[in-house]
Amino acid sequence: MNAQITPLVANTNLDAFWMPFTANRQFKANPRLLARADGMRYWTADGREVLDGVAGLWCVNAGHGRREITEAVTRQLNTMEFAPTFQMGHPIAFELADRLSKVAPAGLDRVFFTNSGSEAVDTALKIAIAYQRARGAATRTRLIGREKGYHGVGFGGISVGGMVNNRKAFGASMLPGVDHLPHTLNLEHNAFSRGLPQWGAHLADELERIIALHDAATIAAVIIEPISGSSGVILPPVGYLKRIREICTKHEIVLIFDEVITGFGRIGKAFAAQAFNVIPDMMTTAKGLTNGAIPMGAVFAHRKIYDAFMHGPENAIELFHGYTYSAHPVACAAALATLDIYAKEGLLTQAATLSPIWENAMHSLKGLPHVIDVRNYGLIGAVELEPRSGAPGARAFEVFTRCFERGLLVRQTGDIIALSPPLIIETAHISKIVEILGEVIRATS
Ligand SMILES: Cc1ncc(COP(=O)(O)O)c(C=O)c1O
């Protein structure tokens, strides 16, 4: 296997691929190429084994190289590679939506398919605004996101998102009428909390302040990640999400949970909504939906939202929105096979079983040089490092590259190292992750 891969790499010109969310020049000078994957592991192009601490990119929840998915995709490609879903349909699209509605929180049993998390977010925002109109509240067009939120890279998503680097270059083209809640990360109060932090539920009341400023009759929706992943794992303080839910209900504002990361077992139930027992009106999902094998996203909408559109002449389109590849048959096949694996192997609840072990392992990193916080929930973890003076992100980037050299894939955002391993992880892998990360942190100045 290695002998086959190496010459291929030597001859590959890296110039043409403009890499996403990547330091292109740094990468191309010193590439980190992954060439094969199985179970908990990747192998680099030159044959080195790398333990996957981030499920690829928070998506390969059932582990790599799942034959069941490969076979389902192959079967579907051999049967029907594509069929339209505009004014037409194909059976496995309906089968998948039905299966998803059965693992969804009660009531969220109408499913709109997209090809990514970003599209799911923009779809949900559009549905929320159109829903308000459909129910006779057409003045409700404002959207509320949160500082440090990540909702993908569409114009809707970056507008409600709150990560400055994702926004600042596109400032003038952001959606108007968007406001942001404060984020809930506060090391002064919550550093080294185990699980959810105790301090900060009162930050939900900022929503009342924003509503008082604009008037509820102008606000369509609030979108938040139950746990922010991409900005460095920000956990909801105890009671925070429940309070947000209460305020949205009181003011008839649609609450959207962006579950692109937390969905499909990441924190011990199928969705964070169920794990936290706070049910939104819509959920956006992607990633773990197909185990990362084929791109796909899905918006789960409460039945009352769907029903609000089902008026007017029966031959009229109710929602002018959709993608050529909404419910692509091959993606549907991958998702159905993925759901089968999750059910058969109990993976949607596995994070709850492993979370005490994971929590102890993560917190064993407390006390290492430069570690200013450790955060964890379900099978998510983060280690925050003190930034080097004048060089934010440099220390964590070094930790990321050294971990890779030592055979561990982690994710770096700013000065935070984030972890979200495949849900098939075993205790020996957890020990290995913490051992390598700990050694690297100790060795990094
Ligand atoms: C919470 C959240 N929403 C949306 C997205 C965007 O998903 P995609 O990259 O599939 O467009 C992500 C991706 O990490 C995410 O974490």
| Residue-level pLDDT, tens digit, the chain, 445 residues | 444 445 556 678 999 999 999 999 999 999 999 999 999 999 999 999 999 999 999 999 999 999 999 999 999 999 999 999 999 999 999 999 999 999 999 999 999 999 999 999 999 999 999 999 999 999 999 999 999 999 999 999 999 999 999 999 998 789 999 999 999 999 999 999 999 999 999 999 999 999 999 999 999 999 999 999 999 999 999 999 999 999 999 999 999 999 999 999 999 999 999 999 999 999 999 999 999 999 999 999 999 999 999 999 999 999 999 999 999 999 999 999 999 999 999 999 999 999 999 999 999 999 999 999 999 999 999 999 999 999 999 999 999 999 999 999 999 999 999 999 999 999 999 999 999 999 999 999 9
From 115, 150, 413, the mutation candidate for ligand 1 (largest count of ligand atoms within 8 A of CB) is 150
Looking at the domain 69-345, which fold is it? Answer: Aspartate Aminotransferase; domain 2 (3.40.640)
Q: 2-61+346-443 with 69-345: one CATH topology?
A: no
**Residue reference for tokens 């199985």:** 38
Ligand 1 atom 7: the closest Cα is on which residue?
117
| CA 233–ligand 1 middle distance (angstroms) | 13
* Of the candidates 301, 299, 289, 300, the residue with the CA atom closest to the CA atom of residue 333: 289
* Of the candidates 158, 213, 157, 149, the residue with the CA atom closest to the CA atom of residue 181: 149
The domain ranges of the chain are 2-61+346-443, 69-345
| Burial class of 327 by CB neighbour count within 10 A (0 to 12, 13 to 18, 19+) | buried
- Grouping H, G, I as helix, E, B as strand and the rest as coil, residue 112 is strand
CA 415-409-163 angle, to 5 degrees, is 35
Whether 233 lines ligand 1, by a CB cut-off of 6 Å, is no
From 259, 285, 287, 411, the mutation candidate for ligand 1 (largest count of ligand atoms within 8 A of CB) is 287
**Residue reference for tokens 């992943």:** 229
What are the tokens at 268? 């011990």
| CA 121–ligand 1 middle distance (angstroms) | 8
| Domain 2-61+346-443 -> CATH class | alpha beta
Q: What is the pairing mode between strands 416-419 and 178-181?
A: unpaired
DSSP H or E run through 348: helix 347-363
